[in-house]
Each structure stands twice: as C-alpha cells, then as structure tokens.
Amino acid sequence: MKAESFSGNHDVFVKNTRDKYWEVSKDLMTRDFESADHFDQTVKCSMTELCELIQQCGDTIFKVQFCTQADPGHVQDKLVGIKQPDLSKDGVRSRLAKEIMEGQRRELTCRLVKSDTKLGRSIVIDLNAPLNDNHRQVDHRKI
C-alpha cells in the first residue's frame, strides 16, 4: 500500500496494489505496516549473501537498485556532447566506457515472487507500476 493523504491526526488514506483506497488509523499503520524506506542498518555483503538474502524476502517489501542492460538509446544519450578532444583524455574515456556498459541506474520498490538461483535472477512485483504490468526481472549480478 502507498500512503496517499492524511485525515486529521488519526487516519491515513492508502492505495493498495489494485488501486483501491482504504482509510487506516495511524496507530495501526505505525504498529503493523512495513516500509522499504525504513531500516535499521546497511550491511555490506558478498554476491552470494545478497542472493541468499533476496531468496529469504518472502512477502517483505524491499528496494533494490541495479543497472539496466545498455540499449542503443542510452548509448546515444551518453555520446551526445562528447567531443573528439575529450576522448583523448584517459579519465573521460574510461568513465564514458563504464557508463555506457552499465546501462541506466534503476530502483524498484518491490515484493519477491520467485527467485531462480540457477540463472541468478528474481521475479518481483514492482509496487509503483500499474497492476497489469508490474512483474519485473532483476538480475542479481547487476545489483
């Protein structure tokens, strides 16, 4: 659910994933609801530990940041404004190559549907996308 508006000091209007609105008390919301924006700690971990953590998410809402696969439009956007003399500088060349290869940075607030350990991908529901077009695939190597 996503908080849409507040009614006085006691209630919150929320919209669920089916675009239906509910009125919920603030006390209930703060006591029982979870958020991908509120967390106690940030932990550095290996890719293996990260994959195991994602597989254990279940119905927990989480945010994931990753780089999308580079596409021709993204490459063209990165090359606009680059001049030939700039490409002779090592720093500019290596930064540009990295940006082009990585693709665009993306963040999803989502819920896990299925994790495929053999392919290193997870199927998630994007909670900010329209109901009929909200399944996404996240490649664990790009996180």
C-alpha R_g of the chain: 20
Beta strands in the chain (DSSP E): 2-7, 11-15, 21-25, 61-67, 105-116, 121-126, 135-139
Please count the other Cβ atoms lying within 10 Å of the Cβ belonging to residue 51: 19
pLDDT 10s digit of each residue in the chain, 143 long? 677 777 777 788 888 777 788 888 877 777 777 666 667 777 788 888 888 888 888 778 888 888 888 788 888 887 887 888 877 887 888 888 888 887 788 888 888 888 877 668 888 988 888 878 889 988 888 88
**Tokens standing for 55?**
């597989």
127 contacts 17 by C-beta, under 8 angstroms = yes
Sheet containing 21-25: order of strands = 2-7, 11-15, 21-25
Domain definitions of the chain by residue range: 1-33, 34-68+104-143, 72-102
Please count the other Cβ atoms lying within 10 Å of the Cβ belonging to residue 69: 11
